Amino acid sequence: MSAAFEFQSRIVFQAADAEALLRQIPAAPGIFALRGSAENSEPYLTRTADLRRRLRRLLAPPEAVDEQGRPVLSRRLNLRSKVRFIDYTRTGSDFESSLLLYRATRAAFGPEQARKRLRLHAPFFLRITLQHEHPRVYTTNKLSPRSLPESFGPFPSRAAAERYGDAVLDLFKLRRCHEDLQVHPDHPGCAYGEMKKCIEPCKAACTPADYAAEAARVHAFFATRGESLLTEVAAQREAASEAMDFEQAAALHKQWERVKAAAALADELVRPVAALSAVILQEAAPRPDPHHPERTLKLEEAAVFLLENGRLVGPEPLSTLGVRAVREQTAVGSSLFAQPLMLAPVPLDEPATPPAPNSASATSGETPSTAVTSTHMPSTAVISTEAQRSGEIPAFSPPGTQAAPSEPWALNPGPSPSATPEDRARAVLAHLTTQTTHQPPPDIAERCDTLALFRRWYYRPEKQRSGEVLLPNPDPAGTKDVWPIRRILNAAARVALGPPTAAPPVDREAAKTLRTKIIHEGREGVEREVPVLPKRSRNRKTSTPAEIIGETK
């Protein structure tokens, strides 16, 4: 997060024209700052769900005055006589308001004051001290450059982190003591060693290599969220089953269930802190109408935020143009006909243009596709390539690798007539990734503030948390994570267009009497049978008001 922050609008406040000036401010969520005439004066900075209503309360005439017209002291805060400038920024969600308020407070008062004013506390993590001679796992809410690669989280609370750590340590034999071990054969040990829950490095009961291997297994469990141990136990269970040792296979299955239960104690967000990435989708704030500044344009787009490399950047608008079929498909059911409308082109009646002789499709013998003409996608939509149809892009790929520089959307994340929904999503993610990689690495304090803001929003109850969050999927090759592009588009459509409506109940008995016809006959993938609704009668009977009243009686 950069220290510089600028508000979108500024109004010069004059008490005589207060009512006319406040009418220019939208009655919408946002953040604002009230500033005095002096340059060194501290601003009044906060967020609100209604900018106009909150500013009227702060800048309205005093409720009571004395005989000389001076305001009488009141418990209600009134800044009418001290404000010279009103700065405000309209936001689309509570998450955006919190993030912009932190940026504005950090720019106005500094990092320490911003942390105190917003009451940001670093979340709790689990750390395994691999660099120690005898590694151990413990819960902490302090990060350092040395502990960053060894920390996992964030957790909603200290109790949740300790509960998950204890469940994982029950599966291994790593030490749980906090002392700086002095290895000696006459060491008294502890209760965990007596219960065979520790391999007792204090008594030299194991070699340093054995203890290091056990610590590496624990680290792999945290890094893979239990998949490393689940795979190991499952392989042993299959081997015992093939060897007809069913008692051992049953015991291993119970152990597999214990490992699964321990891994389920950690939320999906709990990952290595150094590689934590997430895409947050929120409702976008309306844009001002360029032709009528007093009006706003409610566009069908979502605001995209990116958490990566210890920074939280955004918002960037992501248009849902061409993704509306996702809502329609969910509303009408799981029909396969609605799926091609989402991201793939539908052929027209006109014959396809043959490819060039030296093109890839001509050499492979594939049938080329034609462009789409629909109400949701432009007629010049670009047909996705095989790499685009996979629905995934690298989460940490360098900027500029998602599209050719000649494409206009590669430089501007906004919608383009020649860009498909997948192209726009890739362009937005590439633009946000550039903001995180082309800046110096954040310090530990800023990284903790970022995680504190994100944790405060993420661990809210589902009914109170607006928007959606998506985490990258591990690459099957194991090189780098990838973003689920199609899931991001679906989530953006849900955020921008609202939840899908429930499909109306189908009267199957009445549907049997309906006539049907076949449309697009002979066209593979598009041909379907639809009901024919009866025509409305031209001789409709009209009733007078008197007849209607008589019928109701």
Q: pLDDT of 416-442, one tens digit each? A: 545 788 999 999 999 999 988 888 888
Question: Cα separations (Å) of 355 from 12, 347, 363, 369, 404?
Answer: 61, 15, 10, 10, 21
Question: Cα separations (Å) of 95 from 280, 456, 466, 469, 530?
Answer: 9, 10, 8, 12, 44
Q: pLDDT of 180-232, one tens digit each? A: 888 888 888 888 888 888 998 888 888 999 999 999 999 999 999 999 999 99
Question: Does residue 35 share a domain with residue 146?
Answer: no
Q: pLDDT of 494-508, one tens digit each? A: 898 877 666 667 666
Question: Does residue 130 share a domain with residue 94?
Answer: no
Tokens describing residue 55: 């500013």
Alpha helices in 110-245 (DSSP H): 111-117, 158-169, 191-194, 208-224, 227-242
Query: Within a domain: residue 56?
Result: yes
Tokens describing residue 93: 């969600």
Q: Residue 7's closest CA among 25, 32, 27?
A: 32
Question: Does residue 426 share a domain with residue 299?
Answer: yes
Q: pLDDT of 257-266, one tens digit each? A: 999 999 999 9
Tokens describing residue 174: 């790593």
Q: Quick one: 96 exposed, middle or buried, by C-beta within 10 A (0-12, 13-18, 19+)? A: buried
β-partners of residue 473 are 482
Question: Does residue 310 share a domain with residue 441?
Answer: yes
Cα–Cα distance between 269 and 278 in angstroms, integer? 9
Q: How confident is the model at residue 121 (pLDDT cuts 50, 70, 90)?
A: very high
- Cα 115 to the chain's mean position, in Å? 23
Question: Does residue 282 share a domain with residue 217?
Answer: no
Question: Does residue 307 share a domain with residue 433?
Answer: yes
Question: Does residue 490 share a domain with residue 438?
Answer: yes
The residue segments making up the domain with residue 352 are 277-497
Query: Within a domain: residue 550?
Result: no
Q: Is the previous residue joined to 421 through a cis bond, with omega within 30 degrees of 0? A: no
* Residue 203, pLDDT score: 86
Question: Does residue 203 share a domain with residue 64?
Answer: no
Q: What does pLDDT average to over the chain?
A: 79
Q: How confident is the model at residue 387 (pLDDT cuts 50, 70, 90)?
A: very low
Question: Does residue 47 share a domain with residue 63?
Answer: yes
What backbone torsions phi and psi does residue 75 show, to the nearest 5 degrees? -75, -15
Question: Does residue 306 share a domain with residue 409?
Answer: yes
Q: How confident is the model at residue 107 (pLDDT cuts 50, 70, 90)?
A: very high
Query: Within a domain: residue 529?
Result: no
**Range from 54-63, 260-269, 287-296 carrying the lowest mean pLDDT:** 287-296
Cα end-to-end span (Å), the chain = 71
The whole-number average pLDDT for the span 40-46 is 90
Question: Does residue 199 share a domain with residue 295?
Answer: no
Strand order in the sheet with 271-272: 137-140, 124-128, 151-155, 271-272
Q: How many domains does the chain have?
A: 3
Q: Residue 93's closest CA among 303, 312, 288, 278?
A: 303
Of the three residues 83, 116, 149, the one that is the final residue of a domain is: 116
Of the three residues 91, 116, 141, the one that is the final residue of a domain is: 116
pTM metric for this prediction: 0.74
